[in-house]
Amino acid sequence: MTDLRVSAEVKDLTRIERIGAHSHIRGLGLDDALEARAVSQGLVGQTSARKAAGVIAQMVKEGKIAGRGVLLAGQPGTGKTAIATGIAKSLGQETPFAMMAASEIFSMEMSKTEALTQAFRKAIGVRIKEETELIEGEVVEVEIDRPASGALAKTGKLTMKTTEMETVYDLGAKMIEAIQREKVTAGDVVSIDKASGKVSKLGRSFARSRDYDAMGPATKFVQCPDGELQKRREVVHVVSLHEIDVINSRQQGFLALFAGDTGEIRPEVREQIDGKVAEWREEGKAEIVPGVLFIDEVHMLDIECFSFLNRALESDMAPILVVATNRGITKIRGTQYRAPHGIPIDLLDRLLIINTQPYSEREIRKILDIRTEEEDVEVAEDAKDLLTKIGVETSLRYAIQLISAASLISQKRKSATVDVEDVSKAYTLFLDVQRSVQYLQEYAQEYMYNELDEGRAWPTKAAAAMRRPRSQQHPSMAALLLALLAAASTLPLPARACTSLLVGGGATDDGSTYIARNVDHDWSNVAHEVAHVPARAQATYYRSNLNGFGTPLPAGGLAYWALPAQGSDTFESSGVNSAGVAISATETIYFKRAARDADPLLPNQGITEDSIPSVLLPQARSARQAIQILGRIIERQGAGEGFGVLAADRREVWYLENAGGHHWLAKRIPHTKFLVAANQGRFQGIDWSQYNISMLCSRGLTTFAKNESLWIPAQGPFSLFKAYMHNDWWDLVFNYARVRELQRVLAGHVGPYPDARGDTLPPPPPEFLAPTTKLKMIDVMTSMRWHYPGTTHDAYFKQNPKELWHPVAMLLTGTGHVTRIRPASASLPPGLRVIQYVALGTPAWVPYIPIYTGLAPSDLPPALVGARGRRPDSTTLWWKGRRLAALMFRNWPLIGPGVESSIKAFDQQVESVRRPGVEERYTTAWRQGKPAVARAELAAFTKRVTIDAGALLDRLITNAVKKLGLPALPSDDTLVTWLNTATGQYKLDNWG
């Protein structure tokens, strides 16, 4: 009975497998023609990379690629290690496969070249042929006796059979150890070398094919052998050169106790072994099996290591070298030189390069499905939706790590299923990279030996590519470590889904020009603040926080107001300078694949949203000049992402769209019209008679498009939209719906209905329209608060997170502004000519605070400064608005409408009653030559409006608590969890 119990325990142990990061991968998932299946053997997507890897694996099997190298290059979390693991699995046990991280060689107690030598020799196999006697058959029974006294040796019996005979063998201690090490159980077909006692499992007998308990995903079934149990045959052993090195380098005798083992192998030992192997090869007793050496994080190697690899690849016995990296153009370690991927050009020239692409949202969802099954975790569908969004916006690795954490949280509340609350809680407990960086920035002074330069942010993800429809993710545009989700966004992230409105002076009731934009990030915790940047007399050099872009700034820099995101001295979103020029950047736009391929974006060094306001505001003295400066930069240094940029002064309003990496088109908004932009290119044709009048563009814009077959003249006039811009069903519901609705509300223009079930895509909406009535400031604000009220597409009132139409008002909004520039005819003092109405948070649910350019920086109210997305406070308007939003989304129909009407009434009262009064008093004091009195009037007005706005939000929070029937205002931790849950549910990107 004892033996039977132990055998059962051993059997159970064979079924336990460690669940690692890539334990679900069984191969490359290719068919016989080396075509990648969409989902197979644990791999998802990456079809081109997998097919290329399959070709490499086939060449390895055929021995045609020894001494060559392969580079897997792609962004973090794009499956490079998974593909390398798939190569190893597809090669099987006969081909040596050695894997290491480049950083390992710096922690080994040996020289770097010795560590690499050993790694190379682990990947070189020697196939040795010899005749030997074997016992080969199916195991019928294993009996092992364990004496009660530990002094006695174990004894046992092994019963084996073939199709013709059955025999019982007595087992000694050595054989028992070998059988237990191989976890041999009844039903296994094994081979035992009589000379060495080596036990090899050949597979499971077909007779046990219904023994599901002993079956794993890699179980191999074989026939029970026939004939005699004892056979004499030629056997082939494959051992690595490194294994032979180790065996022959061991110290012998008494002195071995004192020799000390550094792990290094003497060169003369290797020379002898290489000589002996060469003899065996000549005699036909052995052959070399070049395997695969995989080095991850290869950019961590230094120039000495790269020199070794260059030399080692020229050896006649060299294995195939597979390396992986997620770096762009960076320094080669140990030198001052920069090179692609941090790899010297001469070595890079030896490598076949395989690019991996960012996973689409659907692929990430499938990978998460596989991982939840692998980890045996039951996850609700809406929780998987949230995990998928986290994977898209932070990283796939982080989302996968949250699975087990969320599972433990659900178990603690005695639930067998992980739901949204569990994922949200796990997200709150465990930081992703971006939030961790943000935390370090916020508390930098409290850490010892902090090396972050003062005033500089750590450059995180790169900056932009993952802010695009899933169908547009492409390695040439991928440069962003800034993707986030649930409270993600540690550093400011490229605004993902903004909405912009530009209005000419002749379309408004008082001749004011307007530019307005909501700055939408990828999560609801990117705080913004109001800041003033003083004038700078000396020339300087600007450097981006988020990529390698830099440009000189001339002497005589202008002072300006801006709305920077937290933790950054760049990413200033929008602003107004002392010359009365307003800039807002950017409106993210996307290009079709052919345009991206023809003129790739430069995410690592091109200008991006992070830099545009910070570069233009200190030097532009008109809106036209701002466009020209930006255009020159795009042509000379390139753009890092697709964008639209808003610029205005008291005479003109301009909008610029880039077209790929080095081209652009800008148009002046007609005096009596407006333009709405919503994450899709808006410009269509070009009227060359208006060049340098109301249109500007890059040199050779249309010629380039023609040469690259982006525009076929025979098919019609040039259209920037048709030549460059992305346009599919995703754009229809995510982008077109917003433009169509605001054009309907402001101008009465009713475009085709955005029906995702239609047969054809509608034509692009008109560029410019005249409003049905002259627009007031409140009309512009209302547009920036739109979420299809009173229609079936109001996702908030209908409480429908699956709504396809993406609204203007989003929880993802970090800040919004309406910038108003008064006409010269108003005869106002300089300090009153430009007002930047600032909403810290989502404008639909927080008031706009008017910030005049004449406000002294020292008079800026504290409630408009210092909010941090991960650090709740009791003073800033940004956090008051976030608390209100967290409560409101617990029951939006009950709370939301009242909040919105109260916010709108507050703004209306400020605009119609308070603003005229303060402007009259300011103007009187200014004309009387009393600047201090005028300044005090503006300071008192701004302070009072800010205080009253905070009091309004406090009242709305109190009312929301009562309406929800809560005993008190929940803790900040609870509110943040609620906010994250609502944000995950209402990202409203349900098509892509």
The DSSP secondary structure of 307-329, one letter per residue, reads HHHHHHTTSTT--EEEEEE---E
Tokens coding 79: 């499956």
Domains of the chain with CATH codes: 2-123+291-355 (3.40.50.300), 126-242 (2.40.50.360), 361-470 (1.10.8.60), 501-855 (3.60.60.10)
pLDDT at 63 over 60: yes
Strands 653-659, 663-668: pairing kind: antiparallel
Q: 41 or 787: whose pLDDT is higher?
A: 787
For tokens 């980890």, name the residue: 375
- For residue 103, the model assigns a pLDDT of 84
What pairing do the DSSP bridges indicate for beta strands 286-290 and 188-193? Answer: unpaired
Dump the DSSP string for 149-184.
Answer: STTSPPEEEEEEE-SS-EEEEEE-HHHHHHHHHTT-
Residue 112 has pLDDT above 60, yes or no: yes
Q: What's the mean pLDDT when you consider all of the chain?
A: 84
Average pLDDT of the residues in 271-283: 81
**What average pLDDT does range 345-364 have in this prediction?**
85
What per-residue confidence (pLDDT) applies to 494?
47
Predicted confidence (pLDDT) per residue in 540-560, tens digit: 999 988 888 999 999 999 999
* 465 pLDDT more than 70: no
User: Which pTM value belongs to this model?
Assistant: 0.58
Gyration radius from the chain CA atoms: 34
What per-residue confidence (pLDDT) applies to 525?
78
Q: Do the Cβ atoms of 867 and 840 come closer than 8 Å?
A: yes
At 568 the pLDDT is 58
Percent of the chain whose pLDDT exceeds 90 = 44
Please give the residue that has the higher pLDDT: either 623 or 992: 623
Q: Is the pLDDT of residue 836 over 50?
A: yes
> Band of the pLDDT at 888, cuts 50, 70, 90?
very high
pLDDT of residue 451: 56
Name 742's Cβ contacts closer than 8 Å, sequence gap at least 6. 499, 501, 676, 783, 786, 808
Q: Which residue has the higher pLDDT, 672 or 991?
A: 672
Cβ within 8 Å of residue 493, ≥6 positions away? 434, 467, 482, 483, 484, 521, 522, 526, 565
- Candidates 547, 394, 393; CA nearest to 462 is 547
pLDDT of residue 673: 98
Alpha-carbon distances, residue 574 vs 226, 332, 836 (angstroms)? 81, 37, 9
Q: Given pLDDT bands bounded at 50, 70 and 90, which one contains residue 769?
A: very high
Q: What is the pLDDT of residue 479?
A: 32
Six token digits for residue 592: 């079709």
Sign of CA dihedral 501, 506, 507, 510: positive
| Of the listed ranges 310-324, 334-348, 611-625, 932-946, the one predicted with least confidence | 310-324
* CA atoms within 13 Å, Cβ hemisphere of 955: 11
DSSP 649: -
Question: CB–CB of 248/268 below 8 Å?
Answer: no
| Element housing 646 (H / E) | strand 643-648
- Token digits of residue 122: 């682990």
Residue 65 binned pLDDT confidence (cut-offs 50, 70, 90): low
What are residue 666's phi and psi, to 5 degrees? -130, 145
pLDDT at 214: 53
pLDDT category at 326 given cuts 50, 70, 90 is confident
Q: Give the start-end residues of each E strand in 414-563.
A: 499-503, 513-520, 531-533, 540-543, 550-553, 560-562
What length is written for the chain? 992
